[in-house]
A and B are shown apart, each in its own frame.
Chain A
Amino acid sequence: MTAAAAPRQDVSGRGGSLLRRFGLPTLGILTMLGYWELHIRLFNVPHYLMPPPSLIAVTLVEEWPTLERNVGTTLIEAVGGFLLGNAVAILLAVLFVHNRPMERTLFPVAVAVRTVPIIAIAPILVLLLGNGYAPKVVIAALISFFPTLVNMVRGLESVEVSALELMRVLSATRTQVFFKLRLPSSLPFLFAALKIATASSVIGAIVAEWIGADTGLGYLIVISTFEFRTGLLYATTAMASFLALALFLAVAVLERLIVRWQPATTRQ
C-alpha cells in the first residue's frame, strides 16, 4: 500500500510544491488586480463607472457594518434554501430509485420546474409568499434542487451488478442494500452536486432579494446601483462571492471528512 502511494507523494512533495499550490494562484489574482488598478489610474476611468481595487478594499472596510448586517440575511436564506432544496432532492432520488412508476410520474414535473427561468418565477413566489425569508429560501432551494436530484439518482444507481449479486448471496434486506451499498456509492456523486449547489443557492437568494427585500446583499446591490455608489456595489459583489466561496469550502471540508476512501489523485 505504501508502495502504491509513494510515487504520488514524490511528485507533489518535490521542492516548490507550496509555490505551485498557493504561489501561482495568488500570483494570477494579484496580476489581475494590479492590471485593473493600473488601467483605471492610467486612463482616468471615472470611479462611478468602475472603481479600482484599492477603493473597493477601502469601501469593504468603511462599509463593513452595513455589509455585515446584510450578508447575514443572505447567508440564512442561501443556507436555508441549500438545505431545503438538497433535502428534497435527496429524498426524491431515494424514492425514485425504489419506485420506478414514481420516477416516471414525478421526473417530468421536476424537469418542468427546472425549465422555468428562476428570474421569471421569482416575482410569482414573492407575490405568493410575501416579503420575508420564505420566497428567498424557496427560490434558493429551487435553483439548487435539480443538479442534486439528477446526481443523486445516478449515484444511487452507480452500483455494480456483481455488488448487488453479492448482497443477494449474503441475503441482505432492502434496507441493508440501501445503507451498506447504494448510499455510500452515491456520496461522491452527491458531493459533486452539493458543491454546485453552494454557488447556486447564493445566486437564488440574491435574485430573490432583487424582487422584494429591505435587507440582504441583493437588496444592497439594487440600492447601491440606484444611488450610484459604485464602490459599495463592487464591495457587495465581492462579499457575495466570498459567501459562495465560504459555503463551497464548508462542503469541500465535509466531503474530505466523509468520503475518505478515494485515492488522492482522483480528487485533485
Chain B
Amino acid sequence: MSPADRSASGSGPAAIRLEEVGMTFPTSSGPLRVLEGVSIAVRPGEFVSLLGPSGCGKSTLLRLIADILAPTDGRITVAGESPETARRRRAFGFVFQDSTLLAWRSALQNVLLPLEISGDAGEGRERARRLLDLVGLTKFESAYPWQLSGGMRQRVAIARALITEPRILLMDEPFGALDEITREYMNLELLRIWQATGTTILFVTHSSPEAVFLADRVVVLGVRPGRVKLDLAVELPRPRDPALKETVEFARHTATLRRALVGETRLE
C-alpha cells in the first residue's frame, strides 16, 4: 500500500485499532494508572508517530499492541485480530530501543532468527540477504554485533523485524540512542524502507522533529495517566528530505506539538 492511499478514509479495516484502552500496573505503593481511555486507529500503510514525554506510557502502549502485556481495559485489534492471534500469525514486527541483537550471531544469523523460531529458516537465507541489502548492510552479513556501530545494529534489527514480511512494524524509540547525524540518516533510511515495503508503521519517539519528519500523523500522549492529547495530521509533501526541517511549515507542526507537550509537563 502506498502513502497515497491514506486519504482513502478511515472507514476501511484499520491496521491497528485501540478502543478505550487503559492500563494499570500494580506497584508496592498501590496501583499505578499508566494509560486511560486511549483510542487510536492506524490505517493500512500509514506511518503514525506516537509522541510523548518519558513516563507517558507510550512504550507500554506499544507492548499492549504487541501482546507483550495485556491491557486492563478496552479492546485492541491488530490486522483485524486479537493481539495474541496477530503475534502468532506474525502480523507485526517489533524494533526495540536497543537493537537486542544476539551477540553470538552474525548479522545474517540475527536476521534469520524469527524464521528459525517459526521453523521455516530453510528458504529464508536469500530473503535475509535481500533485506540486508535493503538496509544497506550487504557487506556486513557475517559481522558480529560488536563489530557494528549503533546505527548499523539498529538496521540489522529492522531487517530482522521485516524478515517475516509483517504488514505492521512497531518501533519503540529505535533511534533514541543514536547521535543526531546518524539519527537523521536513519530517519531517511526508514522512510525509504517504508516506501519500498508498504508496511504500516507505528513509531514511538520523544522527539517532535523526528515525529513530524517521519509521519503522516502524530498522536501526542499526555502524562499519568497517558491519554491522547492531540492527533495531528502532518500535511507535508513526500518524499521528504532534511531541508524540509528548515521550512516554516515544519516549524509550525513542531510548535503545535511542543505546545501540547509543554502543557503536559506543567501538569506534573
Contacts and interface: CB of A to CB of B under 8 A. Distances in A.
B114 interface: yes
B104 A184 contact: yes
A165 B96 contact: yes
Contacts of A165: 63, 66, 68, 94, 96, 100
Interface residues of A, number: 24
Interface stretch (B44-52, B143-151, B184-192, B195-203): B143-151
B146 A261 contact: yes
Contacts of B243: none
A181 B96 CA distance: 16
A172 B68 contact: no
Contacts of A169: 66-68, 87, 92-94
Interface residues of B, number: 31
A262 interface: yes
A85 B92 CA distance: 45
Contacts of B100: 160, 162-163, 165-166
Nearest to B96: A162
A51 to B, nearest CB: 49
Given A160-B100, A184-B102, A170 B147 contact: no
B146 A263 contact: yes
Interface of B: 63, 66-68, 87-88, 90, 92-94, 96-98, 100, 102-105, 113-114, 116-118, 140, 143-149
Interface of A: 1, 4-5, 160, 162-163, 165-172, 176, 180-181, 184, 187, 259-263
21 contacts: A1-B143, A1-B147, A1-B148, A163-B100, A165-B63, A165-B66, A168-B67, A169-B87, A169-B94, A170-B118, A171-B87, A171-B90, A180-B116, A181-B102, A187-B104, A259-B104, A260-B104, A261-B103, A261-B105, A261-B144, A262-B103
